[in-house]
Structure 1
Amino acid sequence: MTASSGLTIVIKLGTSSIVDEKTHEPILSILTLIVETVTRLHRDGHRVVLVSSGAVGVGLRRMDVTERPKHLPRIQALAAVGQCRLMSLWDNLFSHLRVAVAQILLTRNDIADRTQYVNAQNTFEQLFDMGVVPIVNENDTLAVSEIKFGDNDTLSAITAAMVKADYLFLMTDVDCLYTANPRTNPDAEPIEVVSDISSLEADVSSAGSALGTGGMGTKIVAAKLGTSAGVTTIITKSSKPGNVHEIVKYLQRLQENSTAAASGADTSTLEVPTAPLHTRFLPSDTPIQSRTFWLLHGLNPHGTLYIDHGAYHALMNKANLLPAGVIGVEGHFGQQEAVRLVVVERPSADALNGDFLHHAHEPKEVGRALVNYGSIEIAHIMGHRSTQIESLLGYADSDYVAVRENISFHPEDRHSHPVTPALTPALEEWKSG
């Protein structure tokens, strides 16, 4: 049962939260509490997604392997064994409460294509409409380093953006972030609300468990991704899954009180809510849109384009990327592949063989782009006007290296314009065009 007024909530569970680190046995007490919590949220009319690690850990137990192997094919084989057992366990526990679940396995390749990304969004939406709880995991059976998300914290943030979640819960072994390590420093203070992650001062030295791949650092990265997409991201204790339901009720009450105050109602008798200890990362006031998020985080860049400040200025004013603004190419990539965009000073006339790339003054990655030409073609046309493309290549598929709709800037760069740049070839062509 769902409600149009309900929230969309993503809950990420690490391997150490659901599998014993020493015995590799599923921690049934925690799993049961998670299922009860998700069911309560579901019955309250919320849409819930679980991002569940643990396939390799469960596979280790099933095959009586004592330590996580280092050989990738062996890890993938154990993941194949464990994923089957893990989903069977989830399905069995949820079935007792008459809640249907669905398995969704992802790698970056599955969302690198825009059509597949949208198809994944549509699948989630249909599952929500059917009252099903999607359970997401990285497809460790097939994933290699080039297409891995790296950890399920990152996967959960991308999933939260994909489903346009209201809340992303990152369950961990501490109640919240602290100003220092509370295990070793008695003066450590909890950090309850973070409005600006870039100014965060906290101890994030937790390195994760022997079974898992994430620590507190990866949760900060996930929080940056989530909040940039408009998702309130919350860290709370994994051994107390019921906290999730209490925190959601608390935040709903806060919203109700805030709405009442804004309407001029008498709020003196309103109940002041309390909640379990947690850290809440507030979403960006100007969240990036779905396509922008996909360009920035759904694709692995295959190379780098170095552009001058004139090109950057033009792009920030919604222009397309002209070959005249490109002053360097790095990597090997083809048409319609993703690349990094890095702003550098245009080299002096006596700079040779691209050495400026290694001596540029504070080169800065500002965003990503899907390019209309491969690296070899761009190396031939960079620095030239669009009218020269056909004579240089023998053909001209486009006047632009990349069109503006296929270019996305990192959130911190979207509202920052460089100081009025010198009249570079790219800026001159843009203004004249």
Structure 2
Amino acid sequence: MNIDERPKHLPRIQALAAVGQCRLMSLWDSLFGHLRIPVAQILLTRSDIADRTQYINAQNTFSELLDMGVLPVVNENDTLAVAEIKFGDNDTLSAITAAMVKADYLFLMTDVDCLYTANPRHDPNAQPIEVVSDISSLEADVSTSGSSLGTGGMGTKIVAARLATSAGVTTIITKSSKPGNVHDIVKYLQESQTGLSVFETTTQPDPAHQSVISSTSSLSLPPLHTRFIPSATPIQSRSFWVLHGLAPHGSLYIDQGAFSALQKKASLLPAGVLAVEGHFGQQEAVRLFVVEKRSPTAIDGDFMAHAEEPREVGRAIVNYGSLEISRIKGVRSTHIQAVLGYADSEYVALRENISFFPKEVSSGAATPSLG
């Protein structure tokens, strides 16, 4: 098409996507045809999985294809997607897909071998990071950006790793120019049985130490890569869908008492809601923030100035819209009828429609934003 870089005009991008999808699938079909592996195309947008029924249908389609021995080739439906329903980058899409199919591994291919403590192109002291068991404590260089023909840099890969590992998927970053790395790394992890090798360090061993290990171990060293250890207690399918399948349309700020009750499996009462942000309707997803301390004299619109920094703890699907919650926040459920003139539910959100980030489930600690 004589185009050297990614266009910025949406109609041009979508028109080229329509052309590219045909050519891409033809190439995949030809390549895997040599191996006698049939392929199938699955095009997704966020709206395809925002509905729970459609999300489950997508899971069932993946399952059936894999049972048939068909390789699904997944991509975002760039021909139809608009900003409001886009995943934004293939890293996020791949993480959500990996969670949907309960994959063993997610490989995020990039232009460097692995994560480094600093940019190796500029810092000669930069050290490779082999294993990440706690993303929240990760200190790595994420300065690489997407190429001129694509989207997503190292930062989006770390976000994708956080999503995938929370669902129990081992996630690996390695160099895209060496596709054989995928086979070699999987083989190495399978041969090491537990998936945790004697090289479980934050950086590559020095050459002398490496030679000693090589001579005493039956395992050959794997290609350079970064491996993110999956959660020992993966998020369940519905909780993952609430957290990552839905695009939040606003925010609710709740007090510590309400948060503690939610952690004990209670539903969210209007009395525990401090403030509402954004415009959203019934049964839409919102971000959930907890305000741990505030002045007893603080009022809505001013409470943020009297409170500690709110902490985002999860997502919720609400029973009332933003205008309704703004009116009933802070009141008892028995007063909803008097305030609104009706009471569709005594709860702002049911517990089954509330999902917390993994660390909030176990300890109530903050989950840092990585994207």
Q: Please give the TM-score of this superposition, normalised by the length of structure 1.
A: 0.77
Equivalent-residue separation in structure 2 for 1:123 and 1:344 (angstroms): 41
Give the CA deviation at 1:73: 1.4
Show CA shifts across 1:214-245 (max 9, x none).
11111111111111111110011111111111
Q: CA RMSD in A?
A: 2.0
Give the CA deviation at 1:68: 2.3
Show CA shifts across 1:108-135 (max 9, x none).
1000011111111000000001000000
Matches within 5 A, 1:208-219: 208-219=146-157
Aligned counterpart for 1:83 among listed residues 4, 11, 21: 21
- Structure 2 residue runs without a partner (length 5+): 198-215, 366-371
Match of 1:275 in 2: 222
Equivalent-residue separation in structure 2 for 1:368 and 1:185 (angstroms): 39
Verify: 1:367 aligned to 2:314, yes or no.
yes
Match of 1:292 in 2: 239
Verify: 1:411 aligned to 2:349, yes or no.
no
Verify: 1:236 aligned to 2:174, yes or no.
yes
Matches within 5 A, 1:67-82: 67-82=5-20
Verify: 1:176 aligned to 2:114, yes or no.
yes
Show CA shifts across 1:121-169 (max 9, x none).
0000000010000000011111111111111011101111111111101
Aligned counterpart for 1:97 among listed residues 35, 38, 48: 35
Match of 2:257 in 1: 310
In percent, how many aligned pairs have the same letter?
77
Q: Which deviates more from structure 2 when the two are superposed, residues 346-355 or residues 330-339?
A: 346-355
Letter in 1 for 2:339: L
User: SS in structure 2 opposite 1:414?
Assistant: helix
- Structure 1 residue runs without a partner (length 5+): 1-62, 260-268, 419-433
Aligned counterpart for 1:192 among listed residues 127, 130, 134: 130
Q: Which deviates more from structure 2 when the two are superposed, residues 387-396 or residues 298-307?
A: 387-396
Match of 1:428 in 2: none
Equivalent-residue separation in structure 1 for 2:271 and 2:116 (angstroms): 49
Show CA shifts across 1:193-215 (max 9, x none).
11111111222211121111111
Q: Please give the TM-score of this superposition, normalised by the length of structure 2.
A: 0.89
| Structure 1 segments of 4+ aligned residues over 6 angstroms from their partners | 256-259
User: SS in structure 1 opposite 2:42?
Assistant: strand
The 8 Å contact of residues 295 and 306 in structure 2, kept in 1 or not, is answered as no
Equivalent-residue separation in structure 1 for 2:18 and 2:41 (angstroms): 13
Give the CA deviation at 1:176: 1.2
The 8 Å contact of residues 176 and 191 in structure 1, kept in 2 or not, is answered as yes
Match of 2:333 in 1: 386
Change (3 A) 1:311 1:108: same
User: SS in structure 2 opposite 1:234?
Assistant: strand
Give the CA deviation at 1:404: 0.4
Between Structure 1 and Structure 2, how many residues are aligned? 348
The 8 Å contact of residues 257 and 270 in structure 1, kept in 2 or not, is answered as no
Aligned counterpart for 1:342 among listed residues 260, 264, 289: 289
Letter in 2 for 1:172: T
Show CA shifts across 1:331-378 (max 9, x none).
111111001111125754643452224553211111110011111111
Change (3 A) 1:326 1:317: same
Equivalent-residue separation in structure 2 for 1:394 and 1:109 (angstroms): 33
Equivalent-residue separation in structure 2 for 1:122 and 1:151 (angstroms): 24
Match of 1:46 in 2: none
Equivalent-residue separation in structure 2 for 1:67 and 1:243 (angstroms): 28
Q: Which deviates more from structure 2 when the two are superposed, residues 180-189 or residues 290-299?
A: 180-189
